[in-house]
Amino acid sequence: MSTRTPTTPDSTTQGDNDVTSRRAAIGDAVSDVAAKVGTVANDAAARLPDVAATTRVAIEGADREVRAASDDTLAAWSALSFGLAGGLLVGGANRLLVAIAMIPAAVLTLAFLDRTSRTHVPSSRRMQGG
């Protein structure tokens, strides 16, 4: 047989008060977190135009540097970038990190291929009297 301890009205009331105070504390904590998240989101939204402008300037500067580089420099940096990305892949790095490492490799290689395709004249054209 199991024995039951009788509950008194005072112990039940104290348990209810304890639960109520815990709920109030959790509610206060949740509202504080929500207020902080709202403040941070507003700050981030206010800074977004500055971040976009800075990023645009950086990308334009990188494009200017790629266009000014020689063919040999583009080829060397392309090979180095692909080597880095391949090493990360073989080394077991996170896929996102490998994808990020492939971005400069792709940009440099495409710039190099674009430049060489513009300056390259097919041999069949040279023999047509030009």
pLDDT band at 122 (very low <50, low <70, confident <90, very high): low
Q: What is the pLDDT of residues 3-33, one digit of tens each?
A: 555 555 555 566 677 888 888 889 888 999 9
For 73-98, give the secondary structure using H, E and C.
HHHHHHHHHHHHHHHHHHCCCCHHHH
For residue 11, CA distances in Å to 4, 15, 23, 25, 115 come to: 15, 6, 18, 21, 84
Q: Which two tokens stand for residue 117?
A: 């395709």
pLDDT of residue 44: 86
Q: What is the pLDDT of residues 46-76, one digit of tens each?
A: 988 998 999 999 989 988 998 898 888 888 9
3-26 burial code (b ≥16 CB/10 A, e <16)? eeeeeeeeeeeeeeeeeeeeeeee
Do 74 and 66 touch, CB atoms closer than 8 A?
yes
pLDDT band at 99 (very low <50, low <70, confident <90, very high): very high
More confident residue, 96 or 3: 96
CA 20 to chain centre: 42
78-82 long-range contacts, Cβ below 8 Å, gap at least 24?
78/105, 78/108, 78/109, 78/112, 81/105, 81/108, 81/109, 82/109
0.95 surpassed by pTM: no
